[in-house]
Chain A
Amino acid sequence: MNKTFIVLQREYLTRVKKKSFILLTFLMPLIMVSFIFVPILLEKVDKKEIQTIAVVDQSGEFQDAFKDNSYMKFQYVDPGKLEETRNDLKKNNFYALLQIPANIYTSNEALLFSDRQITMDIERGIRNKLESIMEKTKRDKLITELSIPDLEKRLASTKTSISINSSKISEDGKAQKSSAGLASIIGGITGFLIYMFLIMFGQMVMAGVMEEKSNRIVEVIVSSVKPFQLLVGKIVGIALVGLTQIVMWVILSVGLVFVAKAYFTTGGDGLAEAQNLMAQNAAMGGEQMQQFSNAKAQEVFEIISGINFPLIIGAFVFFFIGGYLLYSSFFGAIGAAVDAQEDAQQFMFPIMLPIIISFMMMISVVRNPDGPLAFWGSMIPLTSPIVMMARIPYGVPLWELALSMSILLASIVGAIWVAGKIYRTGILMYGKKASWKELLKWLRYKNY
């Protein structure tokens, strides 16, 4: 069996079996999905209770106007029994009593009594109902008064809603619906993931190298494998740990979303309910809303289908692995050069700096993906893994992408060569405090 593979296997298995890895792998998707579903779940649990509201209509204008909904039931009470009912809400199982005074059309005030603190949802729900009923009554009255033929229809036809549909014209002249918002979100998320993984797994490589050096196991191992094989096995093994984590996250998140969705749709239709609630709050014309949201969904679907997911996923994997190989070589070399964690700090800083700078560049690049900062940031290999990733969802000219990738690949070869040299000398060098000058000297040593 190839020795690099044996090393890789150990590096991979010891890390994947670690409790911290397993915990992070399973908890992360759970946390993410919880962020989406817990509020819905809570709302659902909350809404299970239907409150009965007593309505005392002193104006006589609201007979049968209040319709029950998912969380409120209305019961009309004779205005003569107002006092009696108000004093005995609990006995009659009323959550609250709504008193509509006779002069509501002039005073615009109604009264709500309860022996408990009335929730915002109930208060808002009742207010919206009153408003919409009164608006409709006033409007109908006006229309009848004016007696203009077809006024209602003509008024309805003035209702306007504008949406801006941005399209991107690709090189072959086809227009494709696009959304700057979505592109920036995808760019930002993928860029951030690469940023996080570079730091996380880069430091994992460094810690692994330092462990071998400080445990003094390295000399035993390099008498069996070439130091370079050991370094490559470690770097690739940890890269696979990272990929495993990403793949697990994606699978678990998608799975959890499906499970959660299935749970919500079969058990009580919480999602639909939440949507209903929003519709109620937003406007009165339920049907219009429905049409609107259908159209919107259509559009969103079109935008999503316009995003080149294979390209984004492919580029993500490439820039993740590329950036990781570049930086982990440096991290590995540092781990080999120093004796103790404290000494690592002075070398860590210059390596961490470009990663942090790329992250800051990314924040402005997602807003301006075609500026000079974006261009140069995505060409310089130290920043390109993060910056280019932020640009890709917007679409990047092919030649720029190819050039950026080639520069990155060439830099990786150079970085691994330099790191290999420093690593070979460093791992067997004890007690000597490494300096930048010293590292340069090591580059000139003759080794296998």
Chain B
Amino acid sequence: MTIFSAKNIVKNYAAHRALSGVSIDISEGSVFGLLGPNGAGKTTLIRIINQITAPDSGELFFEGRKLVASDVEKIGYLPEERGLYKKMKVGDQALYLAQLKGLSRRDALKRLKYWFEKFEIQPWWDKKVMELSKGMQQKVQFICTVLHEPKLLIFDEPFSGFDPINANMLKEEILELKSKGSTIIFSTHNMASVEEVCDNIALINKSHKILDGQIDEIRDRFRTNTYEVKFKGELSALQQNLNGNIEILDHAEAKRYNTIKLKHQLEISNNEMINLIAPAVDIVSFSEVIPSMNDVFIRVVKEANQN
């Protein structure tokens, strides 16, 4: 089921176009990666979803009906540019932000207690924000984002400012939220984390959506018939069997076996490939190199910019 969709969103600023006819559909309970180079229009789209700015044209749907103002209470947003009131106490601040999201003071207190215990940060309650380190502030901010148990969560570069241990903890929290039924929009430049947590992605470049779909399907779509083969035997025998229809990208000779990375020029299945090599050499391992999201990202954006 689709929890949120945007149809043909157009947004112009005085000098430039931030979004031209972008449509996205986000299914409930999934993690949706919103990708794109800097300045592509991601933040504008996120702000439109949060109703911080209005699109010039296009329609927004939430839970099957038009998005309305009160829906902000069902959305949690952790912006890339984030901060807290420096001179306010951590507890007061969290209560304030929770009340702005429509929680009653009592509910907010109860839930904050749970999260502060979970993150083991109870001693911070009466501290001023300026006394906390950046990473500590990020934790408080994360709690404030999820406290009202929103159906849709939007994380814009959530890992910036976290050390690897806390970044990992945050990733696990995000996955736990997903398992509890929250839908998550995830915007980042860290493609490794996209592969780990996202189900679907959309790639925006220069105000246009240039790619979207399921992450495995996309990687599959961009396969380049590249293989990595470890074998015992002669490289020339292997080349002969492949009729020269290959391009050798990398070749390393070790004592016991050779490792080769090669690209076949024709559309060919893995089994056919194995059948071609097997008679010539002794295969130790065989794997197709599926492009990483990083590769896909770079390739798609470069192609789009060339056109």
Contact = CB atoms under 8 A, between A and B. Distances in A.
A223 B81 contact: no
A7 B100 contact: yes
B77 A220 contact: yes
Nearest to A14: B88
Contacts of B97: 220-221, 224
A213 to B, nearest CB: 10
Contacts of A3: 100
Given A225-B100, A447-B54, A430 B81 contact: yes
Given A219-B52, A222-B52, A447-B54, A6 B85 contact: no
Interface string A3-46: 10011001000100000000000000000000000000000000
Interface string B41-74: 0000001001111101000000000000100110
B54 A215 contact: no
B83 A216 contact: yes
Contacts of B77: 219-220, 223
Most chain A CB neighbours (cut-off 10 Å) among B73, B88, B100: B100
A57 B88 CA distance: 79
B250 to A, nearest CB: 43
B84 A217 contact: yes
B1 interface: no
A225 B51 CA distance: 10
A222 B83 CA distance: 13
B135 to A, nearest CB: 16
A216 B50 contact: no
Contacts of B99: 1, 6
Contact of B53 (A1, A212, A217, A448): A448
A48 interface: no
Contacts of B100: 3, 6-7, 221, 224-225
Counting contact residues on chain B (CB < 8 A from A), the size range is 20 to 34
A220 B82 contact: yes
Given A444-B14, A445-B14, A224 B101 contact: yes
Given A3-B100, A448-B53, A220 B79 contact: yes
B86 A215 contact: yes
A446 interface: yes
A211 interface: yes
B13 A223 contact: no
A217 B47 contact: no
Interface string A197-233: 0000000000000011001110111111111000000
B96 A216 contact: no
A254 to B, nearest CB: 33
A9 to B, nearest CB: 9
B75 A223 contact: yes
Counting contact residues on chain A (CB < 8 A from B), the size range is 20 to 34
A343 B54 CA distance: 28
Contact of B81 (A10, A216, A221, A446): A216
B269 to A, nearest CB: 48
B13 to A, nearest CB: 7
B194 interface: no
Interface string A405-448: 00000000000000000000000101000000000010011111
A223 B79 contact: yes
Q: Is the interface of B mostly helix, strand, loop or mixed?
A: loop
B74 to A, nearest CB: 12
Most chain B CB neighbours (cut-off 10 Å) among A212, A219, A221, A447: A219
A445 B84 contact: no
A11 to B, nearest CB: 11
Contacts, number: 73
Contacts of A222: 50, 52
A219 B82 contact: yes
Most chain B CB neighbours (cut-off 10 Å) among A1, A3, A215, A441: A215
A352 B79 CA distance: 35
A212 to B, nearest CB: 8
Nearest to A221: B100
A222 to B, nearest CB: 5
B201 interface: no
Nearest to B47: A428
Given A14-B88, A224-B100, A219 B56 contact: no
A223 to B, nearest CB: 4
Interface in A72-122: none
Contact of B96 (A6, A226, A227): A6
Given A1-B99, A448-B51, A219 B14 contact: no
B207 interface: no
B144 interface: yes
A185 B101 CA distance: 50
Contacts of B205: none
Contact of A220 (B56, B69, B88, B144): B144
A298 B77 CA distance: 69
A224 B14 contact: no
B141 interface: yes
Contact of A219 (B81, B85, B96): B81
Given A220-B141, A223-B75, A441-B14, A446 B83 contact: no
A225 B50 CA distance: 10
Contacts of B85: 14, 211-212, 215, 217
Contacts of B73: 224
Interface string B83-108: 11111100000001101110000000
B284 to A, nearest CB: 53
A445 B15 CA distance: 11
Interface string B261-301: 00000000000000000000000000000000000000000
A445 B96 CA distance: 30
A223 B52 CA distance: 6
Contact of B82 (A1, A216, A430, A446): A216
Nearest to A444: B14
B54 A217 contact: no
B84 A224 contact: no
A223 B72 contact: yes
Contacts of A430: 81
B73 to A, nearest CB: 8
Contacts of B54: 446-448
B140 to A, nearest CB: 11
A10 B98 CA distance: 13
13 contacts: A1-B99, A10-B96, A14-B85, A212-B85, A216-B81, A220-B77, A221-B97, A221-B100, A222-B52, A224-B73, A224-B97, A224-B100, A224-B101
Given A222-B50, A447-B54, A448-B53, 12 more contacts: A3-B100, A6-B96, A215-B83, A219-B52, A220-B83, A221-B100, A223-B50, A223-B77, A224-B72, A441-B14, A444-B14, A446-B54
Interface of A: 1, 3, 6-7, 10, 14, 211-212, 215-217, 219-227, 428, 430, 441, 444-448
Give me the 3 closest cross-chain CB pairs, A-B, nearest first: A216-B83, A224-B100, A215-B83
